[in-house]
Structure 1
């Protein structure tokens, strides 16, 4: 397996150090490098904290900064950060208004963030919001609920913007919970993921096969299907999302996310197809985002996310944000 790395064991530490050095205007390491935090904290603002395994960059470290996250904790590749890391992020970023933890709905992430919240509860006011936008998990019927995938960044952005404007912890918790039914995602892959530690690909596809419903840790989806043209594949994703979200009115935000190995030209082509599909089904797409934001290392694939937002929420999306991965209005 050829990758630009020294060893699999040091890859995450060396990569995060490079990230911090490249974006020192936004971020700094926390104590003992247990988290990456916002360089300039705002006193009296609720701290927004998230995190997860490495391999999804720029999620979550690329979203630390003004108008989004105050800290992100990074675990080993595709592995949850430890409770100790999360407690450290809470201790460093709580400036008096409490902390909101945004957690992707995976067993390891949920367990470790909940454990950290219990450990810090005596000293800090803490609430948790689960990001659970993936259609595939419910379709698979494994009882875990929906995974948090690319739609997580929409939740992080909106809650980060609301916190920046002074929203209190209880209101942010209620807002975050209200977003869950209005954000849906589905992914497709042309290849599996080459994982450095195992030196293996998570699944192997034939030259004329695609995997529908993949996760961001290289999990296979619900079906292996014949390769088809972009219209067929992206319309299938879009139709599944529209049918699942079951909302026909409101302002839509459409995100086409690259999973790591898909070039921008293909992502923009997919966006055109998805947008045309949504508009032809009577939906108003007023905001968009296209690019690799929640990746799965080098997976060649993409996901489509649709979020229904109110006009007030659109204003939050449009408000100033200054992070390594998202920047506008500043």
Structure 2
């Protein structure tokens, strides 16, 4: 295993310390917890998300104006504990309340819900939403129902904008839930990643093999298959996505082409070229295109495609100003 780390047990803390040092004007790390928060806590509805580390820039990279107010980081591919999440909630609590954005993994749901219950015992108003955008499979190794993957970033963006716009907690939650209903993702992997604690590859694929629908923690996908051209894989994935998320002519979508950690931008743009061609041929209007590493799996080679069906409200908040380390517009 070749990793540029110090001690395995210090990876998450040292990563967050480095992030906070890089953006000292907007971020700070809580001294005794692996939590990144906005330097200035607002009186608006504040948003908290998080989960296991290893998906950078998610989630701490989305803390800042127009997105999250705090991100709670567990160990690599491991949910943060309830007491950690509670500290994140308390660090950004406001009279308007806190919205928790949770990816649909059993550990995350259990621990964030326990933290919400504890926060309410301290008279902090808390609501929560669960992101389940992965269309690959209904149940998986770590979930009941569909997994939360790269579409979570767009939920952060839109609900964060609604909160920044001054909306009340129930309205921010409504908009977050509408985003979740309208966002769909499918990904594929060309190979494994190496979890630092084990020092071993998370799974095995042959040199000419891919896994369609693989999860961001290395969970099994729909099937293994032979590596084909970029266009052939995109055609298959777009057929699946468009059968799940029906579009009429001239409806609008946002597109997120997300790298899983080791896929060059060159290849992501080739993928986006085909995605754009398919959508234009179907007369679906592309309102926003986002290409890059937004929800990774350490150094895994692969990518995902996310489509978000937009109405006027969702489009407004997608284009709303944001200033975070990993997402700006």
TM-score, normalising length: structure 1 = 0.96
Q: Closer, same or farther in 2 for the Cα pair 1:199/1:110, shift >3 Å? A: same
The separation in 1 between residues aligned to 2:210 and 2:73, in whole angstroms, is 30
Q: Distance in 2 between matches of 1:199 and 1:263?
A: 24
Within 2, Cα distance between the matches of 1:244 and 1:77? Answer: 31
Q: Distance in 1 between matches of 2:231 and 2:31?
A: 49
Equivalence map 1:24-103=2 (5 Å): 24-43=24-43, 45-103=44-102
Identify which range, 192-201 or 298-307, moves more after superposition.
192-201
Q: CA offsets per residue over residues 223-282 of structure 1, 9 Å max, x none?
A: 010110111011111111111112335210000000000011111111111111122123
Give 1:151's aligned residue: 151
| Secondary structure class of the residue paired with 2:211 | strand
User: 1:305 corresponds to which residue?
Assistant: 306
Superposition map of 1:291-330 within 5 A? 291-328=292-329
Separation in 1, partners of 2:197, 2:16: 17
Partner of residue 135, structure 1: 135
Q: Partners of 1:214 and 1:34 in 2: how far apart?
A: 28
Residue range with higher mean Cα deviation, 242-251 or 270-279: 242-251
Q: Which runs of 5+ in 1 are unaligned?
A: none
Give secondary structure in 2 for the equivalent of 1:6: coil
Shift of 1:31: 4.8
1:119 has 2:118 as partner: yes
Whether the aligned pair in 2 keeps the contact of 1:98 and 1:124 (CA below 8 Å) is yes
Q: Tell whether the 8 Å contact from 2:67 to 2:161 is kept in structure 1 after alignment.
A: yes
Query: 1: CA distance between counterparts of 2:248 and 2:141?
Result: 26
Q: 1:193 to 1:141 in 2, by over 3 A?
A: closer
Q: Any conservation in 1 of the 2:187–2:213 contact (CA below 8 Å)? A: yes
Alignment of 1:181-200 (within 5 A): 181-200=181-200
The 5 Å alignment of 1:234-249 reads 234-249=234-249
Paired residue secondary structure (1:216)? coil
Q: Secondary structure of the residue that 1:58 maps to in structure 2?
A: coil
> Offset at 1:142?
9.4
Tell me the distance in 1 between the aligned counterparts of 2:64 and 2:241.
30
CA RMSD of aligned residues (A): 1.5
Q: TM-score, normalised by structure 2?
A: 0.96
Q: Is the 8 Å Cα contact of residues 34 and 74 (structure 2) preserved in structure 1?
A: no
Q: How does 1:226-241 map to 2 (within 5 A)?
A: 226-241=226-241
Q: CA deviation at 1:34?
A: 4.0
SS at the partner of 2:326? coil
Change (3 A) 1:139 1:219: closer
Please, which runs of 5 or more residues in structure 2 have no aligned partner?
none
Deviation at 1:221, TM superposition (A): 1.1
Deviations 1:94-118 (CA, angstroms, capped at 9, x unpaired): 1211000000000000000000001
Q: Structure 1: how far apart are the matches of 2:114 and 2:17?
A: 27
The Cα offsets for residues 22-44 of structure 1, whole Å up to 9 and x where unpaired, read as 1112210125234110112212x
